[in-house]
Amino acid sequence: MINDFKTNCRNFMITGCKEILKRYDFSNPILPKLKWLNPKEALSSNVSRSSTLQPLMCLLPRIVKAEQMQIIDDQWRKLSFTKFPNNFKELPPDKFWLSVKESKDHSGCNEFDELCNFALNVLLLPHSSAACERVFSKMNSIKTKSRNRLLLSTTKSLLLASQCVSRAGSCGKFDVTEEMLHCMTKNIMYPNKALSKPNTSSSTTNQLDYEDLYEDIVFEEF
């Protein structure tokens, strides 16, 4: 009985490891370096903390310019010597870097603007294919054959609304704000410009600017 239990536990762990290997590419050189952007790591003064972000920046040349690398590195070294509120270390990485970006010095300037922009751009990347697949799956559920004439703005709004409700836990737990209620007006929901547009075929409608569509969509963590 005990041996069967141990065998089942071992098989469960083996299957779990195999599934993780399928979903994440551990040969990707970027993934191990993402821990540098963790708040506790970024604000740490230990010698184990990386003194430069150069290895990570070199792997992502499309989101950082060559002339900005030294500026970002200088800000990275200065970050661990700057005093922030104690709760900053407990924040999720995205909220941490956004809070640092919004912080100001005595002159009203942000000392870490380039560093924060780089960190947020890195965190925006979907490091798992499952994150992208979820968004495409939701989009296919929204834009069906019977709804193939949906406007770009409508499709985008439905995707964002779905994410907003999911974060609340369910539609029953979602709290509607006064600002949302004020947006539910005839002029906003049914503008004359949208109604005056001529009907287009599905082939024409599918030629959307998908870059604009995903501009505000957040890829959920797996």
What does the DSSP 8-state code read for residue 198? P
Residue whose tokens read 């890195």: 122
pLDDT at res. 76:
94
pLDDT in tens, 75-114: 999 998 888 888 888 999 989 999 999 988 777 788 899 9
Which sequence spans correspond to the domains of the chain? 26-124, 129-189
DSSP 48: T
Contact 23, 128 (CB under 8 A): yes
Q: Could you tell me the CA-to-CA distances from 163 to 68, 159, 170, 220 in Å, in that order?
A: 34, 6, 10, 9
Q: Tell me which range, 15-24, 112-121, 150-159, is most confidently predicted by mean pLDDT.
A: 112-121
* Per-range mean pLDDT, top range of 46-50, 118-122, 162-166, 182-186: 118-122
When comparing pLDDT for 45 and 210, which is higher? 45
pTM of the model: 0.58
Q: Which two tokens stand for residue 95?
A: 């909220």
Q: Residue 152 and residue 157: Cα distance in Å, rounded?
A: 9
pLDDT in tens, 49-72: 888 999 999 998 888 888 999 999
Q: What is the largest CA-CA distance in the chain?
A: 72
Q: Which DSSP symbol is given to 82?
A: S
